[in-house]
Structure 1
C-alpha cells in the first residue's frame, strides 16, 4: 500500500471516560510522524489485562485513548531517517513496539542495550499513554518495533508484543546453559505456556509449577519435562524438585504468579546461590529472609524486552515455533463481545481482534506457519 492510499480518518476503539465501556469512534489517522516513527496498518490487536487497568484509570491515561498495546501489522509509511537507518520500509510486516519515543540520552538509553526499555523519560507506552492498536492504524517507534520473519503470523505476533517479550526476557535473565533446570511458577498461564516453549527452545530442562489442573496439563502439553502441583505447599514442591534435580533444586526460577505465597515458593524450589526472576506484580513481594541471607537466592526483576532481545525472540520462534493460544474476534466492532467474554471468564487464551483480514490472507503466501 502506498502513502497515497492512506485515508484521513479511521475507526478506533477508545476509552472516553474512566470506568465506562469502550466507544467505537471515527478519528484522524496519525500523520505527525517523527524521524523514528512508523505508521502501521494494524492486522491484529490483542487484549490484555492492562487494557482494563487503562479503562479504570489506574495509569492516569489522558482521554480519549485508543486501547491495546499488543499489535501486529504492515508498515505503510516511514517517518524519516531514523527509521530508515534501522532498515524499515513500506510493506514490512512488524510486531508493534510498546515504548514510544525514548529520550535517547539517559543512562538506560545510552547504557547496555538490554536496559534500553527502562528509559523513564519515554514519551509514553502505546495503548497505555499513547493511542494504541485497537484501530485501523497505529503510530509506532521503529526503535522498539520488531520485524516479523515470514514464518511468524500476525495472529501469533500480536499477543507476543507484551506477553511474549516479557517472558522471553525472563528466560534470558535466568542466564542458564543448555541442559540446566529452569522452574516456572505459574507455568500454565498466558505467559507461562509461552515461557515453557521459549525455555525448551533454549535447550533448557523445564519444571512447570501451577496450582490448577488445567495449568498443569497445559504446562505438560507445551513441553515441560516435569510438572509440580503448587497446592501441595512450599515444602512438598521443594522436595519434589530436589528429587527431580538430584537434590540441588532448579538453577533458576521464573515467577509469573501474583499469589501471596508465590515468590516464597519460587525461592524455595531454587538451589542455593540460584536466581529468581520476578515478573508478577503483586502489591508486595514476600520472601522469608533465610532464602536471601542463608541460601543466597538472588531476586531480579525484568521488564518486557529491549529491541535486540525482541529480535532474538522472533528468530527463536522462526526456528522452533511457538503456540500462542488465541481466541479471535473479527472486526473492531466485535470489541463488546470480546470484553463480555473476557470479563465473564469464558476465554481460554488471549482474546484478539482481527482488524484487517486481508493482511491475514496475504501473509499465507509468505509461508507464515507459527
Structure 2
C-alpha cells in the first residue's frame, strides 16, 4: 500500500501468516499473534504501530469513523454469519440486537439475504426496525418457554441461526430452543458465568444443532465486510466523541446507555 493510504487495524495487530492456524484463516489465533493494545502500543493514542502487511486498506467510499467499528465488531458478526452457512431467506435471531455488535449483525444478515428477529430491551424496538429487523422481541415480556414459542411462531418453525451478541448466560441457555432442525448458534458475547450445564446435549443431538465460536474474522473476511459496507448495505450507527470524554463513555457503556457504537476522535 502507498504511503498515506487509509488503513484499519484489527483485533490482531500482526500475525505470522505461516502457522497452521493462519493458513486456515485463523489469524487471530496465530501462535505468535500480537493483539492490538495489549502487545502493541497505541490504544487511545493519536498514533499507533502495526505491521504494514497486516493492515487492511479502507475503501475510499467509506468514512473512517464509520469504518472503525467494522474492523472488530463488524467483521466478527459477518464472519460468524458466513461460517454458519446462512442462506437466502433463512431466519436469523440476533440477541443483543440494539448494541454495538447486534446493530451491525442485523444489517449484515439482511445484506446476506436473511430475515431477522431482533431481541433486546423494549427501548431498542424502533432502532432495530430502522436497521431492517423483520421482527422485534422484547425479552422482558416473556417467562419460561414463552420466548422460544414466540420465536417459533414468527419464524414458522424456528430460526436457522441464533447469533448471540449479548454477554448473557441466559441467552445461551435459551438459544437452542429458538432453532429449527440443524440450526446453528454463533457464540460471540462472553458471559461472566458458565453456561455449559445449561445447554442440553440431548437437544443438540436430537435436532443436530451446531455451536460455532467466533473470535473475529480473517483478512479476507475483513475485506469482504468492508466491501459490503462500501456498497451502502451496512452503515454504522455511531456517536463521534472526543478523547477527553473517554471516562464518560465508559460509564455510559456500563450503564447500557450507548446505542450503536462510540468512535473516539483523536484529532
TM-score by length of 2: 0.89
Listed as ranges, the gaps of 5+ residues in structure 2 are: none
Cα–Cα, structure 1 residues 224 and 271, in superposed 2: closer, same or farther, change >3 Å? Answer: same
Alignment of 1:1-370 (within 5 A): 88-110=1-23, 112-113=24-25, 115-122=26-33, 124-210=34-120, 212-231=121-140, 232-233=142-143, 235-246=145-156, 248-282=157-191, 283-285=193-195, 286-330=198-242, 332-339=243-250, 341-342=252-253, 346-356=257-267
Cα–Cα, structure 1 residues 349 and 249, in superposed 2: closer, same or farther, change >3 Å? Answer: closer
**Could you report, residue by residue, the CA deviation over 1:223-275 in whole angstroms, capped at 9, with x for unpaired residues?**
111122323135222222222232x2111111112222111221110112211
- Equivalents in 2 of 1:329, 1:313: separation in Å? 24
Cα–Cα, structure 1 residues 230 and 344, in superposed 2: closer, same or farther, change >3 Å? Answer: closer
Listed as ranges, the gaps of 5+ residues in structure 1 are: 1-87, 357-370
Moved over 3 A (4+): 332-349
Count how many residue pairs are aligned between Structure 1 and Structure 2. Answer: 263
| Secondary structure of residue in 1 paired with 2:161 | strand
- Equivalents in 2 of 1:240, 1:344: separation in Å? 29
**Could you report, residue by residue, the CA deviation over 1:148-176 in whole angstroms, capped at 9, with x for unpaired residues?**
11221111112222211211112212211
Q: Which structure: larger Rg?
A: 1
- Contact in 2 for aligned 1:234/1:268 (Cα 8 Å): no
- Contact in 2 for aligned 1:170/1:277 (Cα 8 Å): yes
**Could you report, residue by residue, the CA deviation over 1:184-233 in whole angstroms, capped at 9, with x for unpaired residues?**
111122111110011111111111122x1123332212111112232313
TM-score by length of 1: 0.66
- Equivalents in 2 of 1:152, 1:235: separation in Å? 43
**Could you report, residue by residue, the CA deviation over 1:341-367 in whole angstroms, capped at 9, with x for unpaired residues?**
5456554442322123xxxxxxxxxxx
Cα–Cα, structure 1 residues 351 and 121, in superposed 2: closer, same or farther, change >3 Å? Answer: same
Alignment RMSD:
2.1
| Secondary structure of residue in 1 paired with 2:100 | coil
Q: Which has the higher strand share?
A: 1
Query: Which residue is 1:42 aligned to?
Result: none
